Structure 1
């Protein structure tokens, strides 16, 4: 059984599960209900606030509780549908017995060799942790570090206020313009809330989505477990 820790933010859970279902169809042609994997989902309330910094001790403890809950249900494979949570990956993977997938490493490994200058689009705590910048730089990629975080913060705020599609598209457009102006040829989306609204992003903006990388690996690893 697959265990997915989600709920960070709450609106990102359903779109992520949909990604996993799509991967089942893509990877092994799942069609009838019985052909899809059993998935236990924990939508974990987490201490993220718009008006204050992350308390890392409290956040890590909340994530650990969610993973332990999933482990108790009998999950054979664990994944966290939250990029910021991967700041604590080394300690979290030691806290549970089932294998825990590493979304950051999976995303770095999925980067096409032809990608040149990358732009990271993520929540502020993820950017400030530099987990993605480090993983991408280790594989030889140049990650532009400039001042578009304010626009990303605004876009994330819109996702929490149930903004209309026109507002979301305009916010994405501004980010896309900044990326192009700085010579970015590939955007790395490392935030589940942003993955959920990526349909509003400019169509000509090449994107590697960390959520898609994780969803793909969940299904690949589940198939290995199923067939072993």
Structure 2
């Protein structure tokens, strides 16, 4: 029996759509899916949690909501669970405690991809909460990868871009701003850059070639598909 891929999304909604699209496209490109029954069963639960992009005040409410969804999803036959949001990974360890189904971490998956490519210095574009919680920095440190984070003013600029994407009002100026911050990270020594918020691949310029970009959504999608097709 094929076990489904479980995704807790909605943080934000457009990023979850993007993740679903990547799962389908990668199924075709990497796993040879052609017919309907070649594609994975995907259960995407879009959860409208309180905003904790830049604040942890609503974290307890968000955790309770997500915990309830994890319990519900565990009643279904799943190959794996995941959270389609970098910032929400601050809750991952506690969510895992009540889940017989194994989670695949977006953070861990990205760091593994960096290891494969022998990246030694990586820039991180992410929300204030993701950066302040050191989700990426601590995981990178385990493998001797130096993290380069934006300056304080740049972090708030990135946050504004992310909010614009969620609101559906992001434009070319937001894209230009991200390019400018990425250029600064490369000047400071980054030989790769993590798009460490699921909204960022929706607005970051695809034409950027100065260093390799690590799309956290695409990397997690590929990890989920590997688990799924291994278990089919």
TM-score by length of 1: 0.90
Residues 1-228 of structure 1 aligned to structure 2 (within 5 Å): 1-48=4-51, 52-111=55-114, 112-147=116-151, 148-163=154-169, 165-199=171-205, 202-226=208-232
Q: Deviations over 1:183-227 (max 9, x none)?
A: 22211111111123334563434211221221011100001111x
More moved, 91-100 vs 105-114: 105-114
Q: Where in structure 1 do 4 or more consecutive aligned residues deviate above 6 Å?
A: none
- 8 A Cα contact 2:53 2:87, kept in partner: no
Q: Gapped runs of 5+ residues in structure 2? A: none
The unaligned stretches of length 5 or more in structure 1 are none
Q: Deviations over 1:92-134 (max 9, x none)?
A: 1121111111121111111045323211111111111101100
Equivalent residues of 1:172, 1:201 under 8 A apart: no
Q: How far apart, in 2, do the equivalents of 1:220 and 1:201 lie?
A: 28
1:83 and 1:192 in contact (8 A); partners too: yes
How many pairs were matched up? 226
How high is the TM-score relative to the length of structure 2?
0.88
Distance verdict in 2 for CA 1:83–1:164, change over 3 Å: closer
Q: What's the RMSD between the two structures over aligned residues?
A: 2.0
CA distance in 2, matches of 1:199, 1:33: 32
